[in-house]
Structure 1
Amino acid sequence: MVKKIQILDGGMGRELSRNGASFRQPEWSALALIETPEYVRKAHDAYIHAGAQVISTNSYAVVPFHIGEERFATEGRSLARLAGSIARGAADASVDPVRVAGSLPPVLGSYRPDLFEPEAAKPILNVLIEALSDNVDLWLAETQSSIAEVRLVAELLKDDPRPLWFSFTLDDALDEQGQARLRSGESITDAVAAAVELNAAAVLFNCSPPEVMSAAVLEAAASSTLTLGVYANAFEPADQKRGANVGISAIRRDTQPPSYLRWANEWIEQGASIVGGCCGIGPEHIAALSAHLPTSNDPLSGPHD
C-alpha cells in the first residue's frame, strides 16, 4: 500500500515579513498579532491554498523572550487566544479538511537547552495552553532541544485527550558516528523512547538543516513504530551556528522547492509520513510537496499508511 503523507505548513515569520506585515526583532512573528493580525490570516490562507493539511498557530513568539515580561503578563493570554482563533478561522474556511496544531515553543529560548528551567517554563506554557485550547485539534511542542522540555509539556497536558506531537531540533551536523543528536546532545533513540513513554502520537524533527534529518528519521524508525515527520529550515550554515533569535538569518540558495522536494522524498523513504517546512520554507515549497506527494484524503484522522 502506498504511504499517505500529511502535509504541514511552512515558516510563519518570513512569510509575514515577505508580505508586508509588521515584523522585527525581538517581537518576531508576534508583532503581527499585535499590529497587523490580518496578515497572520493571509499567511495561514496561503499555506492552506498551497495544500497544507495541518497549520500551526502563530504562538511561537508569544513568550516573554520575544514580547517582554510586562507585555506577556498583560497581553500574553489574549495574543495567544488571538493566534488560535485566527488559525481556527482559516482552517474552518477551507474547502478541504485542515487541522490546527497548537504551537508550544521552547519558552525560555530556542536552541538553548541550557536555559531550560521547568519551574520558570511552566507558568508560560500554562498560559499558552489555556489560551489556545479552544481552537486546536492537536498539540505541537516544537523546536524542543531536550527531552526535559517535552517531559514538562506532557506533564501539563496529561489530562488532554488530543494528540500530542513532539518535534525536536537537531544539532547542525552529524556526530563522529554519523548520527543525529538533539541540541542537548541526547540521542534520537532516547528522545523517541521518551516520546513513547509520554504517549506522544508522533515524533518530528524541525528547525534544523535538511542534511541531518534523514539520519534522525532512520534512527527513530529503527527504534519505534511512532509516526514520524520532518520540517527543516533553510538557514545558511553560518547562521545555523549562531543560534535562533539572533538577528534575521540569511536563507540558503539551494532550498528552492525542487530541491526541498527531493529532500522530502528522502525523508519519506527513511520512514517519515508528515512533511512540511520551518524557517525560510514558504507556500511555494508546500505547494510542491502537495503536488508531488501522495497525500492522505482524510487528514482529520491523522497520518496513516
Structure 2
Amino acid sequence: MNYQHIKKRLDAKDIIVLDGGTGTELQRRGAQMDTAAWCGPASLTNSALLTEIHLDYIKAGADVITANTYASSRLMLTGAGFGDRVAEINTIAVEAALRARDLAPEGRKVVVAGSLSHMVPVAEGTAVVDPTKTPPLNQISDAFHELAQVLKTAGVDHIMLEMMYEPTRVPLVLEAALATGLPVWFGLSARRTTDGRV
C-alpha cells in the first residue's frame, strides 16, 4: 500500500525525498562498527537507535527510509563471525525501520526500502575489496539472492540497490532483487580508476 502511494507520486513527477546514510549515521551516533562488515552486525545491538535514526529522517521529510542492510549479506557477515545470523540480523534491521514508519507523524506515508549492495569482503578496516577473500561468482549470486529474499520476507516495500559500480557484480545483484517481485530502485556510484577514467 505504501509503495503504491510513492508510485503514484513518481508517475505524477513529484519529488520523492530519500533518507540519508543509515550506516554512516549509526556510526556517527556512536554504534560500534565491525572491521569486516562495517555497520551490518550493529543491528543486533542497536535496534532502538536505528528506529530513532529512521524516525529522525522521517521528521526531516524523508518519504523513503532504508533499512540497515547495506553490509549485511552472508558475504560480509561471515568475515565478521555472523554468517549463521544473516536472516536474524537483516530482519532486526527491517523491523527497526518498520517501527519508525509506524511512529511517523499522522498522515505521513513512508516507504521502507531494503538496501541491497554488491559488497564483497574488504581488507580489514578499509573499504578496499580484498581479492583473496572474494568468493566465486556463484557464491556471490547465492548471497545476494538470500539477502533479497530475507528482505522481502521481513516486509520491505521495495529493494534499493545502493552504490552500484562494479560491472561483474551488478547483474548478479540486479537479478537477485528482481527475483523478489518487489519494485527495485537502482543507485549508481561513479568511481575514478587509477588511470583517471570515470
TM-score by length of 1: 0.50
Q: Would the alpha carbon gap of residues 126 and 72 (structure 1) be closer, same or farther in structure 2, given more than 3 Å must change?
A: farther
SS at match of 1:68: helix
Q: Are the counterparts in 1 of residues 18 and 65 from structure 2 also a CA contact under 8 Å? A: yes
2:123 counterpart of 1:104: no
For 1:225, the equivalent position in structure 2 comes to: none
Q: Residue 151 of structure 1: CA displacement?
A: 1.6
Tell me if 1:137 matches 2:176: no
Distance 1:154 1:82 in 2: 23
1:221 corresponds in structure 2 to none
Query: How big is the shift at 1:65?
Result: 5.4
Partner of 2:78: 68
Once the two structures are TM-superposed, the CA of residue 3 in structure 1 deviates from its matched residue by 5.2
Higher Rg of the two aligned structures: 1
Query: TM-score, structure 2 length as denominator?
Result: 0.74
- Decide whether the 8 Å contact of 1:111 with 1:169 is kept in 2: no
Aligned AA (1:168) = L
For 1:133 and 1:31, the matched residues in 2 are separated by 19
**CA displacement at 1:138 relative to structure 2:** 1.0
- Structure 1 runs not aligned, ≥5 long: 182-305
- State how far apart, in whole Å, the 1-side matches of 2:45 and 2:114 are: 21
- In the alignment, the residues of structure 2 paired with residue 144 and residue 43 of structure 1 have an alpha-carbon distance, to the nearest angstrom, of 24
Percent of paired sites with the same residue: 28
- SS state at 1:23 partner: coil
CA RMSD of aligned residues (A): 2.9
User: Does structure 2 retain, via aligned residues, the 8 Å contact 1:146–1:168?
Assistant: no
* Inter-partner Cα distance in structure 2 for 1:27 and 1:148: 21
Which of 6, 13, 16 is residue 16 of structure 2 equivalent to?
6
Q: Is the 8 A contact 2:35 2:80 kept in 1?
A: no
- Offset at 1:116? 7.7
Q: Secondary structure at the match of 2:169?
A: helix
Query: Structure 2: which amino acid aligns with 1:124?
Result: A
Task: Count residues with an aligned counterpart.
Answer: 176
Q: Deviations over 1:11-67 (max 9, x none)?
A: 122311332323353342124212222111111111111111111110112135543
Gaps of 5+ in 2: 1-11, 122-126
State whether structure 2 residue 130 is matched by structure 1 residue 120.
no
Aligned equivalents of 1:129, 1:43: Cα separation in 2: 23
Answer yes or no: is the 8 Å Cα contact 2:118–2:173 preserved in 1.
no
User: Is 2:63–2:110's contact at 8 Å kept on the other side of the alignment?
Assistant: yes
Say whether the 8 Å CA contact 1:78–1:131 is kept in structure 2.
no
Counterpart amino acid of residue 156 in structure 2: V
Letter paired with 1:21: A
What letter is aligned with 2:191?
Answer: D
In structure 1, give the amino acid aligned to 2:35. Q
Greater than 6 Å deviation, 4+ residue runs: none
- The structure whose RCO (Cα within 8 Å, separation 6+) is larger is 1
